[in-house]
Structure 1
Amino acid sequence: MNKYYPSSKEKKLKDMFNHIANKYDLINHILSFGFDFLWRKKIVHLLYNFSKKKILKY
Structure 2
Amino acid sequence: EIYYVYADKCVECVDYFDVPACAEACPTEGCIQWDDCVDGLPCSENRGEKGTPVIED
TM-score tier (shorter): under 0.3
* Greater gyration radius: 1
Higher helix proportion (structure 1 or 2): 1
* Higher RCO (C-alpha 8 Å, min separation 6): 2
Give the TM-score of the pair, scaled to structure 1.
0.21
